[in-house]
Amino acid sequence: ATPVIGGHRGALTPVSFELFPPRTDAAALALGRTIDRLAEANPAFLSVTYGAGGSSRERSLTVLRYILEHTTVDAMAHLTCVGSSYQEANSLVRQFLDAGITSFLALRGDPPTGVTGPAELGDLGSASELVQLIHRVQEEREPFSQERVPGAPQGTRIARRRRPERVAVAAFPNGHPRARGTNADIDSLLAKQVAGATLAITQLFFHADDYLGFVDKARTAGVTIDIVPGLMPATSPRRLARIAELTGEEVPAELAIALEVEPDEQGQHEIGVGYIARVAAEVLAGGAPGLHLYTFNQHRAVLGVLEQLGRMPVGAGSSR
């Protein structure tokens, strides 16, 4: 049986998963099955990435609609604002709200390589401005909801200011690759909180201390919102190299070597899952409010991590 790693809230640990919009019909079909399997873990939400410059807008929406229509899980839309005019960003937010999305991950996004001029970067300079815009558009569109008053006579309603379900933002425990200094990432997270962010999700990392140290510094600086650790099991040497390339994060030598010397694919899978399950147990024991797992659109490895944490029954990470 899979050993269960202790020191955390086991079955109650809140989790969420990240997906990206598929490029082919075959990948879309496979993603539908992945979503159904991930939904069995009863996650707080499934988030769907957004291609730089809006390249995936329709494909992202298709995945988000699938989640809303086929599961009872909340769907979170990543949105980026780099390169957009204020008007374009406004209508983007409106389009997603119209599709029924009420949870967002507000990002600045990366400008295309070589683009540096303020005109090309667009009207919104940072993710905090997009956070503000999401709140503003929601309020303009539908400022109040009519809510039942518990215990009051039937039909009694009060008008409550409508807020998006969640407005999440990114945080960088090991620093954003282009941060100006060590405190820039904390300052930027604080600015996002002031703008109205309700939770932060971190860039992936490989050492629990990276996350725990960052949270400590953020709390000292006045950040009070939940900072959810983002983790991704690297289940092959190729996957680990790709993660390093995409995020700029330094990969641990012991994990790279262990994956490299293991000849068997199943053995590599177990090494990657086991490594991240241990990091997850450490951050949860250190007070992390939950886990956000990057899936690479595959359920096996992330459900395997939850299985090792005792958050899912044994066999959840099978290839069924």
256 lies in the binding site for ligand FAD (CB under 6 A): no
For residue 195, state whether it binds ligand FAD (rule: CB under 6 A): no
- Shortest spacing between CB 107 and ligand FAD, in angstroms: 4
Asked if 57 touches ligand FAD (CB under 6 A), the answer is: no
Q: Work out whether 230 is an interface residue with ligand FAD (CB under 6 A).
A: yes
How far is 29 from 32, CA to CA, in rounded Å?
A: 5
Partnered with residue 168 across adjacent β-strands are 105, 199
Nearest CB to ligand FAD, comparing residues 74 and 185: 185
18 catalytic per annotation: yes
2 vs 202 by CB, closer to ligand FAD: 202
Closer to ligand FAD by CB, 97 or 107: give it: 107
Nearest to 268 by CA among 238, 246, 293: 238
Question: Tokens at residue 117, please?
Answer: 């001029």
Count residues binding ligand FAD (CB under 6 A).
25
Based on the shown chain and the rule CB under 6 A, indicate whether residue 203 belongs to the binding site for ligand FAD.
Answer: yes
Q: Are 89 and 124 in contact (CB under 8 A)?
A: yes
Applying CB under 6 A, which part among 44-52, 266-274, 298-306, 308-316 lies near ligand FAD? 44-52
Nearer to ligand FAD, 65 or 162 (CB): 65
What phi and psi, each to the nearest 5 degrees, are found at residue 71? -135, 175
Q: Please state the φ and ψ torsions of residue 235, each to the nearest 5 degrees.
A: -105, 15
Pairing of strands 157-161, 144-148: antiparallel
Site for ligand FAD in 145-184 (CB under 6 A): 170, 172, 176, 178-180, 184
Interface with ligand FAD by CB under 6 A: which range of 102-110, 133-141, 238-246, 309-317? 102-110
Among 86, 67, 88, 60, CA closest to 16: 67
- At 308 the three-state DSSP class reads helix
Per CB under 6 A, contacts with ligand FAD among 61-90 are 78, 80
φ/ψ of residue 29, rounded to 5? -65, -45
Asked if 226 touches ligand FAD (CB under 6 A), the answer is no
Q: Which listed residue (18, 129, 270, 307) is catalytic?
A: 18
CA distance 18 to 48: 6
Is the separation of the CB atoms in 16 and 45 below 8 Å? Answer: yes
> Please, which residue, 216 or 265, has the CB nearer to ligand FAD?
216
Residue span binding ligand FAD (CB under 6 A) among the ranges 83-91, 106-114, 235-243, 265-273: 106-114
Q: Does 132 bind ligand FAD (CB under 6 A)?
A: no
Query: Can residue 107 be called a binding residue for ligand FAD (CB under 6 A)?
Result: yes
* CA distance between the termini of the chain: 18
Class of residue 17 by CB neighbours under 10 A (exposed 0-12, middle 13-18, buried 19+): buried
Q: Is 185 in the site for ligand FAD (CB under 6 A)?
A: yes
The tally of CA atoms less than 13 A away on the side-chain side of residue 225 is 24
Residue 55, class by beta-carbon neighbours within 10 Å (0-12 exposed, 13-18 middle, 19+ buried)?
A: exposed
Give catalytic residue positions.
Answer: 18
User: Using CB under 6 A as the criterion, which residues of the chain lie in contact with ligand FAD when the complex forms?
Assistant: 49-50, 52, 78, 80, 105, 107-110, 126-127, 170, 172, 176, 178-180, 184-185, 187-188, 201, 203, 230
